[in-house]
Amino acid sequence: MKKLVGLLVISTSLLAGCGEEKQDVVNLSYVDAHWTVSKYSLEQPVVLESAGETLAACTGDLTTELKGDLTVFDTVVASRHPMTDTGWEYGFKAVTYIQGDENYAMCRDMASPHYSVEMVDAFPEFVDLTAGHSIRHYPSVRPADEAARLAVQNADELTEAGNEIEPFPDTVMAFSPAIHGEIELTVGDRPSQFPLFAFEPMMADVEDVKLAIGYDSRDAKPYVLLLLADLYVSVSPLHTINDPTKEEPTYDDLVVKRLPLDTELVPNKTYPLYEFSYTRDGEAVTETASITYRAAKLLSTDERKTLETHPNEEYMPIVTGPLVYLHQEPFDNESTVSYPAVLRAAGNEMDDLIQAIDSAEPTKRVGDQGDYPLLTIVDGLKGQEFKVTYKQRSKKLDIYVTDQSTEETYKLTSEGAETFLSYFPDLKKKPKN
């Protein structure tokens, strides 16, 4: 994205030095037609028509601290359905609006699992300021009430999908959510392979998350039980071995005792939560299971800029350069298109193709519709759409592009047209009659 922007700036500067400044042909923006945008609050999701305000959030200077008492309002999620069968065009961005000492937009997208936060002067008009929920900076933990213990003990999920899990009713603990972060569990000196659960801004309306330990005597292994919204219990094995060549240890005759704990969890501090007593290889073993709260990292402005060209590939693989397509029908948000209905520009470097399009000259003329009358550029969260027409001459093919947002038409130079065709070798040069 950064390389493309730099290329366009150089092109504009050179032309401006020769006289009248040339208007950019390639002018990427947030294309509403590419995105589905939904606002989430207590009610059913509300579809928003415009994507720009959501996609532009957290693109300016960032802050790495949320100050003051926090109130969470709406979360807006923008998603771009894959346009082709490669899936490379898929995109999403989630923005939560939060009020503290300042107004904040808290964002996450495909470039990193970490949040970015931007201070804003005011919230967008679509944010419902009458439906906010208070949330803490840090979570707290306490023993759950009798109703929660009964809900876990009687959960259908304990005996579904072949399960025969017996919960330890006294182990049910209630966690009040934090604005972000994760809870880790360590048994003895063995940390769990995955966090017990993660806190998200959207959890502000969730009163508590309940945690308990269960046991299946058939495989002699403990299970993590999470009661969500007091309605559903998730069941997952407690994995503490990260080496795939080693087997998980067994816990014969396991008994789990809850230890006294009723407090706010300070980041990076370890708190004893349970005592595990069991038999292994004929020996009695007693271990302490502890929890640690890890506050989530907030990205700095420099880190955010680095991710624009070097995203976290381990989190979610994405294409960092522009994607350019010729296609027969408009893309939509429900289906994908495959070859030959769509042609992807050949190669990995699109600089020459973008330059060829951006160097086109304004014209009032248009050509004839060919087999591929549409051109779409996708770069990061932005894009641009053109109509393409062609005029076959005796020794060359004239190519015209019309920006669908401005209805301005441009003719590629002879050199630009040759470059364009080199990126689309399958393009039929002869227009339809």
Tens digit of pLDDT for each residue in 339-377? 999 999 998 899 999 999 999 999 999 999 999 999 999
Please report, for residues 78, 96, 169, the alpha-carbon distance to residue 129 in angstroms, rounded to integers and kept in the order given. 20, 12, 40
Is there a domain that residue 90 lies in? yes
Kindly state whether residues 149 and 272 are assigned to the same domain: yes
Domain span at residue 233 reads 140-294
pLDDT at res. 203: 86
Q: Looking at the predicted structure, is the pLDDT value of residue 189 above 50? A: yes
Q: State mean pLDDT over 235-264.
A: 88
Kindly state whether residues 278 and 159 are assigned to the same domain: yes
Kindly state whether residues 162 and 284 are assigned to the same domain: yes
pLDDT at res. 249: 85
Please report, for residues 20, 39, 41, 132, 248, the alpha-carbon distance to residue 44 in angstroms, rounded to integers and kept in the order given. 52, 9, 7, 16, 42
- The total number of structural domains that make up the chain: 3
Quickly count: other Cβ atoms within 10 Å of residue 149's Cβ: 20
Kindly state whether residues 304 and 398 are assigned to the same domain: no
Kindly state whether residues 277 and 159 are assigned to the same domain: yes
Kindly state whether residues 145 and 289 are assigned to the same domain: yes
Kindly state whether residues 147 and 133 are assigned to the same domain: no
Is there a domain that residue 13 lies in? no
DSSP state for residue 295 in the 8-state scheme: P
d(C-alpha 414, C-alpha 398), whole Å: 7
Kindly state whether residues 155 and 278 are assigned to the same domain: yes
Kindly state whether residues 178 and 249 are assigned to the same domain: yes
Quickly count: other Cβ atoms within 10 Å of residue 210's Cβ: 21
Q: Looking at the predicted structure, is the pLDDT value of residue 433 above 50? A: no
Find the range with the poorest average confidence among 68-82, 230-244, 363-377: 230-244
Give the predicted TM-score (pTM) of the model.
0.86
Kindly state whether residues 42 and 106 are assigned to the same domain: yes
DSSP state for residue 21 in the 8-state scheme: P
The overall average pLDDT reported for the chain is 90
Q: State mean pLDDT over 23-46.
A: 89
Kindly state whether residues 152 and 290 are assigned to the same domain: yes
Kindly state whether residues 43 and 108 are assigned to the same domain: yes
Is there a domain that residue 19 lies in? no
Find the range with the poorest average confidence among 4-13, 140-149, 237-246, 247-256: 4-13
